Amino acid sequence: MIDKLRALAQTYLDLQNSIQNPEVLCDPKQLAIIGKRMSDLEPLLQMLKEFDECQQAIDYAEEHQEDPEVKAMAEEEATAARQKIIDLKEAMKLFLIPHDPDDDRSVILELRAGTGGDEAALFAGELLRMYLRFAEEQKWTAELMHKTDADTGGVKEAVCKIDGVGAYGKLKYESGVHRVQRIPSTESKGRLHTSAASVAILPEAKEVDIAIKEVDLKIDVYRSSGPGGQSVNTTDSAVRITHVPTGVVVICQDEKSQLKNKSKAMGILRSRLYAAEQERLAKERGDMRQGQIGSGDRSEKIRTYNFPQDRVTDHRIGQNFSNLPGIIEGDIGSIIESLQHKDQEDKLASLGAN
């Protein structure tokens, strides 16, 4: 175990050297990714240093067993060092979990109202705002790429790009069906309604990540609908791209420019195809166990927001969280941390590190 951890420490030094590369220095995004990875590894370097100091204290005590003047003090330090080594090994185990490069990526967030009619659309709109506010808190930037509003308020569907190093590593746990239980304002008899919305979190893919052949695309342009002003609604600026081999359809109409809408739509398409390919490869390797945290199963009911009881329940970890108004306003950090912790435990167990 220690040898593997020392190899990771060497990775830190390699990354340190790589940022001297002129090509890397000219790429702010690559610099940010390397900087984050180095930041993630820095605690390991400190723990390895403490581990070595503890080992030296133990060795010193063993070497001075025959010296009565130093034996007692050395043995006392060695006893403390042995306990600290146990604690350090437990903490350092987390670094044995293989680093997923996708965790450093930005994300494409797709959100759709599900069962529940108007109430589902209102809930979908609240979820969108929740994620946008969480992104703002994380100092990420968000760009709405496509949105279809419901006639009675709320959102039928929305696609948003959240740009920030490490965004996928945190938000990937949000993929799945979110359910809300509350009494709608239109409910005269005070009955509790259950509605749902689905969330998909996709790692942003670049052109180098996945090849898309032009002949595999069917591109339609048409007049945008909904709000947007005269230039949007009276020109053929909306773009619908169909990837014929997979049947994946992407629509983008928020921009006045057809070219910009096409560029955005291609970005969404790449991310969808990349996510599907990564999922296929993971299943081939047997990486995606039933119910695994972060598997990205969009059909799985992952969370219930119960307004009357001020309770949010994440069903994957069986944990309840209070302060629902704060959560729906973007305070989801504690939920994500709990999911990350459970995911780490599962992965360590699969590695036989527990």
- List per-residue pLDDT tens for the chain, 354 residues long: 888 899 888 998 899 888 888 888 888 888 888 988 899 899 999 999 999 999 999 998 888 877 777 788 888 899 999 999 999 999 999 888 888 889 999 999 999 999 888 999 999 999 999 999 999 999 999 999 889 999 888 999 999 999 999 999 999 999 999 999 998 876 767 788 999 999 999 999 988 788 899 999 999 998 776 544 444 445 678 899 999 999 999 999 877 888 999 999 999 999 999 999 988 887 776 664 444 455 445 567 999 999 999 999 999 999 999 999 999 999 999 999 999 999 999 988 887 755
Regarding whether 68 and 50 lie in a shared domain, the answer is: yes
Picking from 96, 130, 160, the residue at the C-terminal end of a domain is: 96
Q: What is the pLDDT of residue 186?
A: 67
What range defines the domain where residue 333 resides? 103-206+294-351
Picking from 232, 264, 284, the residue at the C-terminal end of a domain is: 284
Q: What is the pLDDT of residue 157?
A: 94
* Cα angle 288-293-297, degrees, rounded to a multiple of 5: 65
Quick check: is 268 in a domain?
yes
Q: How far is CA 229 from CA 17, 150, 235, 315, in A?
A: 51, 18, 11, 43
What tokens were used for 26? Answer: 């000219």
Q: What is the pLDDT of residue 257?
A: 87
The alpha helices in the chain, defined as continuous H runs, are 2-18, 22-25, 28-63, 68-92, 117-137, 167-171, 230-233, 258-285, 324-328, 333-351
Nearest one of 216, 210, 251, 224 to 102, comparing CA atoms: 210
Nearest one of 315, 114, 259 to 197, comparing CA atoms: 114
Strand 176-182 vs strand 155-163: parallel, antiparallel, or unpaired?
unpaired
Regarding whether 198 and 107 lie in a shared domain, the answer is: yes
Regarding whether 298 and 201 lie in a shared domain, the answer is: yes
Residues 6+ apart with CB under 8 A from 191: 183
- Per the structure, how many domains does the chain have? 3
Can you give the pTM of this predicted structure? 0.80
